[in-house]
Chain A
Amino acid sequence: MRARKRTAALLAAGALLTASGPIWGHHSFAMFDQEHPIEVVGTVTEFRYSSPHIYIFLDVKGEDGANKLWLLEGGSPSLLLRDGWTGSSIKPGDELRMTIDPLRSGAPGGAWQATRIKFKDGRPIVAPK
């Protein structure tokens, strides 16, 4: 996978995990490997701002050069709306850099926290208040 910088991502994400705590919501996130986060860079094809979880569909170029569509599960609108998130915070075509907890199975899915994703050029998804 392009931009799969495991070592750097592990260090960065490890620090963030300590700061923000593990992801828990209405269900266990045990299917996501929270001890081995990875970084993915890709283009948004769909942004579902739904409750209890927001989903980002991200088109990611793999190490073999082939594109793969990832389903990435995040937090909830009801908890993020007070930080300024809306249904148009991310749009199809946006390029994102995301640290995610990948599915343990190796399938193209994972989980993300708002504090660990940004636009590819480094801008925050939602400017801090």
Chain B
Amino acid sequence: MRNRILIVVAALAGALLVSSALAQWPPDLSKYPDWNYQWYRVGPIGQYNSSAPRNNQGAPLTPEYQKIFEDNLEDVKQGGQGTDPTYTCLPDGMPRLMNVIFPMEIVVTPKMTYFLVEYLMQQRRIYTDGRTMPADAEPSFGGYSIGTWHDTDGDGKYDELRVETSNFKGPRVYDPTGLPLHKDNKTVVRERFFISKENPDHLQDEITTIDNALTKPWTILKTYRRERNAIFSEGYCAVDNPHVKIGGENYMLGADGLLMPAKKGQKPPDLRHFK
């Protein structure tokens, strides 16, 4: 009987210790890398894979989605927006969000790492608390991200964050060229974040996209430059956006607030409901 009481007391004390460690504040960040800075993209604005020519960027598209992409380019030649939905301020979603057209801030905590992207004030939450992908989460443009920290060089400190993101909604494309992702939104994005061995102020993101618009997984590498003198600004696209979509066509609002054609020879929208 006495032994049983001792076991129960020991178990309770252990549980209290664990609970105390989980609730520790401030958290112990000594094992985590110091990525809590503002980061600027390295490379051209609005191009997903800057290491390949702009138009196809090396994407292994299926024949069906290659055709969708080429039709999109034809529309763009006429002044259209093709398959790119974001001109009306729809969010980028993943993986386009990591183009980081305007700077991002990273905040590392043991349970969660935040990516705060200035454009559209988009945010990514990378759960690093050991959870698994929930079965009932609502799909989103940014998807649901679960990460794990790794000590790849065995020095006792984490140096790499691996992330898997899924559970998307769309429409999403990779960048303003209209390079498409599959409409079924079954995309899976796997990432490895790590500091460049050549430059300690360069964060790199190896992004592998698995998507039914691709014939095989597509891996690219992105680089971000650490900015130690951070200046933040707001990036709410909808505030003054003059680009509008009516009946599937893109138009612009003029300086007088009235509708203007965006394409040469473009007809006015269908006004059948104005009687």
Q: B237 touching A71 by the CB < 8 A rule? A: no
Q: A78 touching B263 by the CB < 8 A rule? A: no
Query: Whose C-beta in chain B lies nearest to the C-beta of A69?
Result: B255
- Confirm or deny: A107 has a beta carbon within 8 angstroms of a beta carbon on chain B: yes
Give Cα distance in the complex from A32 to B173, angstroms.
21
A8-16, A47-55, A118-126 - the one binding chain B: A47-55
Residues of A with C-beta under 8 A to B47: 24
Q: B44 touching A21 by the CB < 8 A rule? A: yes
Which residues of A, 30-58, contact B by the 8 Å Cβ criterion?
30-33, 45-46, 48, 50-53, 55, 57-58
Given A52-B237, A70-B255, A71-B255 in contact, is the A78-B103 Cβ separation under 8 Å?
A: yes
Interface of B is mostly: loop
Residues of B with C-beta under 8 A to A26: 46, 86-87, 92, 101, 119-120, 176, 237
Given A52-B235, A71-B253 in contact, is the A104-B44 Cβ separation under 8 Å?
A: no
Which residues of B, 236-265, contact A by the 8 Å Cβ criterion?
236-237, 239-243, 250, 252-256, 260-265
Given A24-B46, A26-B46, A55-B242 in contact, is the A105-B236 Cβ separation under 8 Å?
A: no
Select one of A28, A51, A70 contacting B84, CB under 8 A. A28
Contact with A along B178-206 (1 / 0, CB 8 A): 10000000000000000000000000000
- Confirm or deny: B82 has a beta carbon within 8 angstroms of a beta carbon on chain A: yes
Residues of A with C-beta under 8 A to B118: 51, 78
CB distance from A107 to the nearest CB of B (A): 4
Q: B102 touching A78 by the CB < 8 A rule? A: yes
Q: A106 touching B264 by the CB < 8 A rule? A: yes
Given A52-B102, A71-B252, A76-B102 in contact, is the A30-B260 Cβ separation under 8 Å?
A: no
B22-30, B73-81, B148-156 - the one binding chain A: B73-81
- Confirm or deny: B177 has a beta carbon within 8 angstroms of a beta carbon on chain A: yes
Residues of A with C-beta under 8 A to B241: 53
Which residues of A, 84-110, contact B by the 8 Å Cβ criterion?
103-109
Give Cα distance in the complex from A28 to B235, angstroms.
18
Shortest beta-carbon contacts, A-B, top 6: A27-B87, A105-B261, A24-B46, A107-B260, A31-B262, A71-B255
Hey, which bits of chain B sit against chain A, CB under 8 A?
44-47, 76-82, 84, 86-87, 92, 101-103, 118-120, 176-178, 231, 233-237, 239-243, 250, 252-256, 260-266
Hey, which bits of chain A sit against chain B, CB under 8 A?
21, 24-28, 30-33, 45-46, 48, 50-53, 55, 57-58, 69-71, 73, 76-79, 81-82, 103-109
